[in-house]
Structure 1
């Protein structure tokens, strides 16, 4: 999972920042004097700040997330489109040290139409339903390992291996990430597949355990 360490702006700086980005943030609006602004950086977007804007006039969840540098603001909307566009514009910096944090960030803030792929690296990262029993928890815990870097495959894509929860099942999967814009031969379709820089694909999925007693997240709202 992705756990950013945010730094909170003081109220005066937060208000000034929100006034500065008001036009670029539209149609989203937040009350400048009632919004907590927190900031951090990520290693794969140089010069950008990753920011959380929490509207305290609303019940939680109440946080919008943005990637920002002066003159360029991207609102996270829980789809891959804003990130893929930013990857080309920034551009994203991908290497052996950044692909793992990028993958963890991506799957935390992108939630597909079919559901959310939740990378789990520690037992405590699995959210259990109250009726989950010790046996299934032990079975899951024994299979959880940290996400790992496997190198660049013969397809010239970065390859990671991860354990993920999807809906109510546990999988092991490879995560393929394009280091630059490229065409890759797809052995399943027999056709070339076009990738933009930073584009991802899950392959070699292996079902480990199904019918887990875990909550299945609903489709995302504006706040995730």
Structure 2
């Protein structure tokens, strides 16, 4: 698994630089993006990569990220509750909403981190010990530019042949993000000795620090 992650980071880092430019570097043959940025220039991204505890932890330690919020996406407001989502059948996925400064970390770099240390893109409706559509791995673009980059990135993962199994990552249309319950926010920070965190999520954060030292930040950002 460590070898696969290293290969993914290496191959897709090259692809990201050469074929998935940020908006400052080129247009990538995509429609002109409608930016969703606040007055400070920060932008928002939404990702699904299995249990949101670990994905939140990874991006909270990514330089250029200023906020990470765990939540739900894909179902209705009535079912956007942990008990309902974890039972399956709501259409929701556990997701994180990442606020980031594109002058520090690009969208394609966030994708690179997600699929190098956060989620296995070949697992369909599961990640690690978790099973169900609520644990699918998916990209939810919130701008046309993000959709163009995400589409190209998934295509590149398929062409890279880094993974033995087919890429299962989907690109889903943005509907509405629902923040998860308060006790899920900063779960790794609050519960470092939780057995699930120790077994499944702490190694992901450690891998981020090792594989992406230039994008590592020690401060845990509050969502």
One fold, TM greater than 0.5?
Answer: no
Q: Please report the TM-score for the alignment, with normalisation by the length of structure 2.
A: 0.22
Point out the structure with max Rg over C-alpha: 1
Q: Please report the TM-score for the alignment, with normalisation by the length of structure 1.
A: 0.22
More relative contact order in 1 or in 2 (CA 8 Å, sep 6+)?
2
Larger proportion of helix: 2
